[in-house]
Structure 1
Amino acid sequence: MFFLLSLLDNWVVYDGDTTSNPLFTVTKNVSLLNTKSLAHVSSTGSKTKRVIYEIEGSYTQRCCSVYDDKRQCVAEIKRKEAVGGVTFGGDVFRLLVQPEIDPTVAMALVVVLDQMFM
């Protein structure tokens, strides 16, 4: 997948190395209100964009969820749990993916979130 940052904290995701026919856009939520929403994932195929996923939680804490348009959790990012008192760094986490979302899309969202919050 190929990613491009555009204006207003908006990332455009493409399939492969091409910049034609974007798969979707991810927009960072920049609301000043205390909200759980990190970003919205929108379709790009039609004239009216519709939100297909919403990402909530804290990416910096590696604790966030991806919800579909029916508010079902389709993917989760969680810190990897240590065994025997050993702690892992922030870059060690688990990505739990439900059958309702393509695993490559879920991983693409992780890459975009990493770009948003680095």
Structure 2
Amino acid sequence: MDADRAGLLADPAEVRAILVASASAGEPITYSETLALLGHHFTRPKMRALCKVLAYVDDNAEELGEPELAVLVVRQSDGLPGQGWWIGGAKKHGFTGLWEGPKAKRLINKLQRQAFDYWRTRG
């Protein structure tokens, strides 16, 4: 991944590897778990910094024709991505509903399944 990584919390390749492993296992991963694997304690600023890396990882996946991976990173409280994902992700998928609740969960489950199915045989 050739990118100016200045200011990024972690190497996008390392984050991608964590997410591919999560997808291969068929399990989402929390922000806290992801940060811990990267050697950080959970804080809101670290979570926001992680979101920048996740956006980079997803842009790269799109270029490669792969399903998005950032959708696998979820809040521990409800199993849904945080605001950072919804701002771009909801629009990208034509979703105009609330960022929580049954409709949001259906969209996230669908997108996560795409990643799980894709990486189950490749990861």
* Fold match (TM-score > 0.5): no
The answer to which structure has the higher strand fraction is 1
Larger Rg belongs to: 1
Bigger proportion of residues as helix: 2
TM-score relative to the length of structure 2: 0.28
